[in-house]
Amino acid sequence: MDLKELESGVDQSTHWYYQSKKVPLFRYFKQLLKEQNKKMTVIDFGSGSGFFAYELWAAFPEYIEDVLLIDIGYSEDELEETKHLPVKKLHYIPEGIDDCVVIMMDVLEHIENDDAIIKDIKRRVGENAHYFITVPAFMSVWSTHDVYLGHFRRYTIPMLSALMTNNKCAISQRYYIFASIFPLVWLVRRLKRNDENMEAPESSDMAPLPGTVNWLLRQYNSFEMNFRKMNKLFGLTCVAEGKLN
């Protein structure tokens, strides 16, 4: 998760982007619980603030065995403080955890060798391991915002599908979200783009919005999530769901 986006004062508990984005994650997790009929361990890889994992824990505590926040950026004090808590911070995924779901919320685009990361995650998890992945979509929307966040690439459904299938991961769903705002964002970023000067800006494009605007965007984009699985054409975010093994 992009921690830099929070430096502009964004409140994840209310901001339309994060609140809309958690909708497909929650629906996937509900479906997974229905199919598995057992407690699951949530592994938030590249967790940063851990927002999405904490939200899952708050919503489904009786169905979650453990929550593991995995991020090499955590200090030793943070690791020690959460050692005996239901939500634990770790640097690496412990090996052999069965009945788990690995969530990667806007993580793979930060990793130069995304193939190696998927291989390492597959090696570490145990049996019955699932995944939920979101990544920014379409290089045509590439901007200084991506440079600021330290992205290596933006994805398409074929790119993300190839990454997972090449690593023998089953894909149950793949789709785009934030389709309705894609044309406007594409246009604005194309007009602002200067290929000769793609230096990182001093701050994120993500910013707090007036209450009414934020509410409208949250309601509209959350409603749009009802049709997400039909959208194979375009959007600002690409999503993949499935099994790691």
Domains and CATH numbers, the chain: 3-243 (3.40.50.150)
For residue 107, give both structure tokens.
């993580």
Give one DSSP letter per residue of 21-73, joined into a string. HHHHHHHHHHHHHHHH-S-EEEEEET-TT-HHHHHHHHH-GGGEEEEEEE-TT
* pLDDT, tens digit, 9 for 90 and up, residues 192-214: 776 546 665 655 667 778 889 99
Q: Give the pTM.
A: 0.92
Residue 124 phi/psi, 5-degree rounding, is -85, -40
For residues 209 and 16, the answer to whether their CB atoms sit within 8 Å is yes
**Lowest model confidence (mean pLDDT) among 78-87, 129-138, 175-184, 187-196:** 187-196
φ and ψ at 133, to 5 degrees?
Answer: -125, 135
By the 8 A CB rule, do 176 and 238 touch? yes
Strands 40-45 and 100-105: what pairing? parallel
Confidence of residue 10 (pLDDT cuts 50, 70, 90): confident
